[in-house]
Amino acid sequence: MKLLALLPFALFACTSEILPPLEAPIDEIDPVEDDFSDDDDDNNDDDDDDLPEDDDDDDLPDDDEDEPEDDWEDSADLPPFVDDCGTADNETIQTASGLSSVDGTTWTDVQLCSGELDVYRIDVPPGEWLSVSIEIDGSGQGSTDLDIYEFENPASPLPAALDIVDDTYTTNIIWYSYAETSVESLAWYNDTNQAETHYIAVAPWDTATADYDILIDTSSYDEGVDCDVFFSNTSESGPCNEIMQFPQSNALDQGYVVSHDVHYSHLRREVSYLIRYASDATAAMFPGTNPLGLLDMSERDGSTPGTMVGQLRHPQGTHINGNDIDVAYYQTGSDNLGRSVCPENGSFCTSAPDILDARRSAYFMAKLMESPNVRVIGVDPMIAPVLFAAADDLRSEGKITANQRSRMNSYLAYGDGWPYHQHHLHFSWTWESGHSTSDTSNEGCLVENDEDYEVPRVQGGW
């Protein structure tokens, strides 16, 4: 499969030995009331039964309050929509066809003919999250394999630190969605007070041709540590429990960049709010901080990443329902993408970390600790003591509170049961139907050689 070919990971089995963290005994991690465990490979109670079928943004009941409050009207200069075939009417940014940003807008049976691109412009309304999805008429494999690429807006160049796609094409590719699947999508959040313009291209792999539908989904989106304060419906069926695609960053002050496959980049809304809050706060506390790489989350339907290709990237039962996310460590190098921060043997650090930015990493974790819904943060056992020492310094400087520092003792997990965390931390959320067990070992193990984006598979002189 092409996805596996481009992301050549080798899946390693995680140890089944259950060991407590070095400094934080397992029994110090507060349990919650309901029975919902994703720690074990053989659990049978942690599937999606508590969620509605097709648990995506617009299928949850009683979530009307996440809809945009004001009616959005497209810009007067938005080009008309074009469905061309053989006429090359929307092949470039300059000739892009317009997509309305009105929630729920759909175009059906759009044609992508042989040798063509379909380039579109879409304006993300102020204060809103927006996704563009294509649903392909076919399997999305072989002759119907279509993908979405985002082109850099020439009128608003992306900061270099956010342009993590290493491509050499005429048109700068800054993000993309591709896999052998019938659905591809990209999503953004506009935190400014004016519309932000994005350009995307629907492109074939090899000689693929297919019809496809385009779907626009928008939602209100907020910034803060606690999602529940923004909505009146705080139940399990409310907006905060929606699984949403994590929006790609548009600005350095947001503090992060989605750096893994978009198909594995879906989180519960409330978890995404917290991650964004902590990364934004870290960028504000430490000026000049490079964006923090966000790694595996869940698949679109809440499944463990890798389910769609038949090769799990994490133990079965972890990274489900948008509760978990892997996050790179802050580093002393030129970026904060996913890589080992220490000498290592493929599973663990073998000596103290040598490129870890412990202060930024500890501060980020302390900001996460402001939420009462943290279940566990897992790290490598050689990294944990360095983080604790940095947190002590931050506390003595008044940059974090005593409560934040204390909670790190209780909720930071490490030990022999946490392999493959030399290049990222694993964050897990306590959901309403969350974990009653206090066992947090052997969880969230990622495949070895955790790389970031590869060069996109594109043809032609883009």
Lowest mean pLDDT among 18-22, 53-57, 268-272, 447-451: 18-22
The pLDDT score that the predictor gives to residue 84 is: 86
Confidence of residue 393 (pLDDT cuts 50, 70, 90): very high
Strands (E), 192-306: 196-204, 210-220, 243-245, 256-258, 266-268, 292-294
Residue 214 pLDDT? 98
Looking at the chain, the whole-number percentage of residues with pLDDT higher than 70 is 78
Burial-class residue 277 by CB neighbours within 10 Å (0-12, 13-18, 19+): buried
Pairwise CA distance, residues 112 & 101, whole Å: 21
Q: Average pLDDT of 115-127?
A: 95
Name the band, by pLDDT with cuts 50, 70 and 90, for residue 168.
confident
What value does the mean pLDDT take over residues 406-427? Answer: 96
pLDDT, residue 432, reads 58
pLDDT at 171 (0 to 100)? 87
The DSSP code sequence of 76-128 is: TTPPPP---SSS-SSSSSTTPEEE--STT-EEEEEEE-TT--EEEEEEEPTTE
- Say yes or no to pLDDT of 46 above 60: no
* pLDDT tens profile 369-387: 999 999 999 999 999 999 9
Q: What is the pLDDT of residue 68?
A: 56
Closest-CA residue to 136 (of 95, 87, 178, 199): 178
pLDDT score for 165: 87
Q: Which two tokens stand for residue 75?
A: 């810009």
Has residue 186 got a pLDDT over 60?
yes
Mean of all residue pLDDT scores within the chain = 82
pLDDT band at 240 (very low <50, low <70, confident <90, very high): very high
Q: pTM score, two decimals?
A: 0.83
Residue-wise pLDDT for 242-266, tens only, equals: 999 999 998 999 999 999 999 999 9
For residue 462, pLDDT over 60 is answered with no
pLDDT digits (tens, 9 = 90+) for 122-134: 999 999 999 999 9
Tell me: the pLDDT tens digits for 288-323? 999 999 999 999 999 999 999 999 999 988 999 999
Residue 205 has pLDDT above 60, yes or no: yes
